[in-house]
Every structure is written in structure tokens, then in C-alpha cells.
Structure 1
Amino acid sequence: MRQHNLAYLIEPRFPGGTSSALAAELAVTAGTGRVSIHPAETSMFDGRSIAPQLVRTLNVLGLECTECARTIGADIVVIHNPAFLKFEKLLSTHIVARHVIAVTHENFLRPGGEEGFDVAHCLSLIDRSTLSLRKSVAPISPNNRATVEEWAARHGLPSGWDILPEDWINICDFDMAPPTDRPRDRRGRHSRPGPEKFPKPATLDLIFPSHAEANVILGADMLIAGQETHPHWTLHPFRGLDVARFFEMIDFMVYFTAPGWRESFGRVLAEGIAAGKVVISDRETAAGFDGAVIGAEPEEVDGIIRLFIAEPERYISHVRSAQTVLSRFSPEAFRDRFLRLTGLGAPTGAAA
């Protein structure tokens, strides 16, 4: 079978989940054909360096990410998070491919129905620079898909575009840590420090209260700078504490965002599950994890934590069940779906 060409057009300086997901994906797709990386460095991240998690993976795989070709020619071109084009007037690179896939790491609509970014502008820039037999939008989760489909129903996708029938799996290839058999009221959260990642101060007070044994917030740059803190909070800046050490300090990961923001997937929640913790978040985000994340309102968090502390066996059972759910986001699951969606080869285990 002819080895296919797979090209990635990316903004390599996304600091959080986009780059982490891309790094995990490259570790899989690099074994399926000839892979090339094309960095479209945009005004969105002026002055920033390539995300360290992406640098590590590129070095391991021996892939270069130094210059974007004027013309990208490949069987498949994957564009991760097209929102990086929202401040651009044009896409200077030309794309010639059989299939172009735009992976939608950001929700097209926010809670309440407001557009998350200028979707039509970003897709139009890609469309005008592309000669392709097929162009697709690839949602990364059920919640993300719902916003993409609702946006498309309102505005219509550009001519010739479609939505892939299955979600583009966000690979969660983490080592699984066992749950504690003596859970304590030790709470925490971590994320990049953007304001959209944090709920209102009153909600933070509610979910990280003074009666908790510990409240550890990693990625708290905004709180530190604004001096919005309490003696019962332990605050660390983004990347200011090793994530493994962070998880050693907590038994419950409690993750809520600003009212006008929802995670398209929630990679940090998957990290919490893998670390052996009970993870609590809003119901919309939790729905994408099929019971592995507990969906709740902030007012319900105290009661949920009390229940698990009172019944350690329930805590252990939930964590083990949640970790089983993560197998659906394995590298093998991604590879099979990737090959199926792109038509590039037979999935794992298929007859030769």
C-alpha cells in the first residue's frame, strides 16, 4: 500500500490543551505515513515560544517545526484549532489536498448562544486558500459537536464543507494511579490562567471553602496578580508546580469555569481521573466523560465530597470505573478512528 502524506498546519504556541492533544496525536499518526509540520505563526501568540509539550514530542519523533511551506501538498491536511486565524486577514499558505480537516478545539458557541469566535472568518480563510476534494470540520467531543452543529444550522458551513460523523478523539494516554483508600477533604484545580477558565469569585469561595483541609489552585496567576486570595488557598502560577506534585496534594479535583465559557473537552479533567482523583465539574462538561466526571452545581460540591469521604469504598469504586472510561480515549482508539475517518488504511485488528 502506498505510504500516504499527512500534513499538519498548526499554531504551535497554544499553551494548553490544544498543544497537548496535538502532541499526543502526532505520536500516533507519525507511524501511519509521512508527516510534515507547518507552523502558521499568527498574531494571536506574538512573542511566545512553541509549547514545551509539543517541543518534546517533535524532538522525540524527529519532526521539524521551523517554517511553513508556501504550498502544502498532502493526501490529508489537518488544521488543529482554526480559531488561531481569528485575528488574521489572510492565510498566506496554499493547501492542495484530498481531504482537509479542521479540528475544532474551541466551541463554536458559548453558553447562551453567543458565538465563541468569528467562525465564518476562520473557515473562509482556509477555504479561500484550499484546493481539496473534501473539507471537514472535526468536533472533539459531544459538547463541542453540539455547538458546531447548532452554529452550522444557524449560519451554514461554507460550500463543500461537512462535519465528520464521529468525534476526533482527544488522546488521553496517561499512567493510571490507584485511588487512595482514605480520601480527605483536599481540593484543587489546575488550568492555564485565562480569565475564562475561572468562575466568579463567589463560586471560587464556595467550592474552595475555609473548612476544606486543603485548597490548591495551580494556574492562579490572575488571582495572585489581583491579590484575590484567602489564607486557606494555596496558589501556584501556571507551570509553577509539577502537575504530579499537584495531584499528590489533593483527593478531589473541582473544576468550574466562567459562566460564559465551557470546555470543549476538558483534558485536565482526564488528567485528574488518571491521577486517581474524584473529578467534579459542570454537567455539560461532565457529559463528555460518560459518568467518569461527576456533573454538579457548585452548591452541591460540599455534599458530594462529604459522601465520598464517609464512604471510601464508593470513592475507590468511582475512580476505578472512571479510569476504565478513559480507555475510550486511548492511542489505539484514536488510531482506529483516524484511519476510518480519513480512509487511509485498515483499523487495528482488521483483516489484511
Structure 2
Amino acid sequence: MRRLSGGNHLEKIMQVIQDIKPLDIRSMEEMRNCLNNLTKPLGSLGMLEELPITLSGIAGHAAPKVDRKAIVVMCGDHGVVKEGVSAYPQAVTGLMMDNFVRGKAAINVLARQAGAEVQVIDIGSMLEEVPKEIIKKKVRYGTDNMAIGPAMSKEEAVQGIHIGIETAFDLADQGIDLLGIGEMGIGNTTPASAMTAVFTSISISQLTGRGTGINAAGLDKKIEVIERAIKGNNPNPMDPLDVLCKVGGFEIAGLVGVLLGAAARRIPVVIDGVISGAAALAAYRIEPLSRDYMIASHLSAEPAHQFILNELELKPLLNLEMRLGEGTGAALAFPLIESSTRIFREMATFEELGIPAHVENSKEKNEA
């Protein structure tokens, strides 16, 4: 665990971190043996075989299920939007929150198809009148402009993480088996790129993408703003909380908490694109064991995302050149994850066909 410092709720967060345990190796081996005895060549289903092995290690038994699924969408606004880093005005955050409530956003459509509920949390939007269907956990009305000072205080970052932990715990208590994470916040690819740059030491120009679709001049401006924010705030890469409070966002802090809380309760979390990826990288820097509970849904078109996945050593299930966010990649990955659990439950074994499993396995080894 990396150094973590802060104010209120810190003791609770430290206890949650201590509750994150390694994957259950025995259950993983049991699942691997189960998969090897199914009517197929060894390893022929690729990542669809890796998934249930990971899920078994997370669950602590070789019969993991993903019957109940939920996607958490954290919403927050960013003071850095004042620097002209987005193609859309800040008001769009609130408009999209209303769209989530009406069930008309992309995440709603894809979550319905995947059989997942969507939980929308206002953790830091500028919206004063929040729709009643949205869970109100606002830390503050948007972050400060990180280009001229820290985005938030350490106490606020800790509060955001704590809100995420509580969210994960509440969903665990409701019987959720599989979590996806997403976000909404105009301008949030800027803090995500900044955090990634600090954690990886990769150049900002390599990491920074067009976000909502800014032009070439806008991209140059965005890179300059991130450089200014990092130079002015000087976040300590060995202190994830320092990075989060200086160049992060409230929705990112909330997602860090969801990741840590879910890992403590042994629930797999499917990460989405670059913003949830930045949260995943921060959670990993806080407690490396949390990475074992993460599943990468897709590879975002935002350049920082590939570097994030490389750092986490996670392989994405999909590559659809998406860059929307909201948890859409997680929703698309849910059916694949469910398919992986159906394989070990519903496929026949070689023994059931009257073929000794060791014959097929030996053939595979000889051909190799």
C-alpha cells in the first residue's frame, strides 16, 4: 500500500484497504481444471477461459455468478473547464444527468440490454436542483481550476473516496455480483490525463487526446493547461491522494472508492475508459491488490487509456474505438463476462461424451 494521508473518514478507508485480500489460488486452480475438462481444446476460448478463473479467485470458490449487475455513474464538474479544454459547455453535465434519469443516454440503452441497473450519483456537479432519482452525495459544486491551484482539498478527496466505498458496500449488501463503473463530467479527460502523466511519467503530449472532440488548436491548449497544472501543483506520484486532490476530480475520487470497496467485499469491477481507468490507476497505487479485482472492458480511443492498461497489466475485452464514458464499455462487456460463466456451467465434459479428458489434453501437449 502506498502512502495515504488525509482528514475525515481516513480511518474507515484504511480499514477497507486492509480488508482487500489476494485472490483465492485454490479456487482458481479448481476452475482451471474444470475448464480443461470441457469439450474443447485446451485454452481454445482464450479470454473467455481467463475470466471465470479470475472470477473464481475473486469469489473465493469455483462457482462464481454474475446474475445481478449494476453500473455506478459518478457525476462531477471541473473548474479547469474555464481554460477552454472541452468542446462542450459545463452545463452539459447537468443536462446529461437528467438524460440518465429519463433512461435515454447510451449507458441506459446498453445497461438495459445487459440486464444491469444504473445508479447515478451526484458527487460534485454544478447542478443545484438535482433530479430526485439521482443519489445526492455532493462533496462540493465542482472542483477548483487545477490550472491555478489544487482541484480540491485532501479532506474533500478522502470524502469522495469514502462516498465511493459506501456505494460499493451498499450494492454488495443488495446482492450485486458484478459492478461496472462510469462517469459524467465535462472536461474530465483533462484531470484523467494529468493523473496518468503523474503516475506514469509519460509525456503529456503522448497521453492527451481530443476528449469531446476539440480541434488541433484546442488539443494544444489542453496539453498546455495540463502541463501548467502539474508544474504549478507539483503532485507527489508516491502519494495517490496528493495526485487526486491536486489534479483529479470528485467523480474520479468516488470511483477510486468504488474500486477499493468492491475489492474489500470481493466483487469484480469492470472499468470503462480513460476516466475510470485513471481512478483504477489511483486505486492500484493506494493498494496494489485492488488491481486483481478489476476487469478491463475495452480500449478507449483516448491515448492515455492504453498506457493505463499497460501499467495495470490488464487486457481489454473489446476494441471498438469508443471514447464516450458513462460506463458504456462496461455495459458492453457484461454479456461476455456472463457468457464466460455459462461455459463452465453448461458445457459438457469429455467424460460425459465417453472420452477420457487426459487423451485430449495429451494430444494438445504433443501438438504444442
- Fold-level match, TM-score > 0.5? no
Relative to its length, the structure with more strand (as a share) is 1
TM-score bracket relative to the smaller structure: 0.3 to 0.5
RCO higher in structure (CA 8 A, sep ≥6): 2
Q: Which has the higher helix share?
A: 2
Provide TM-score, normalisation by structure 2.
Answer: 0.31
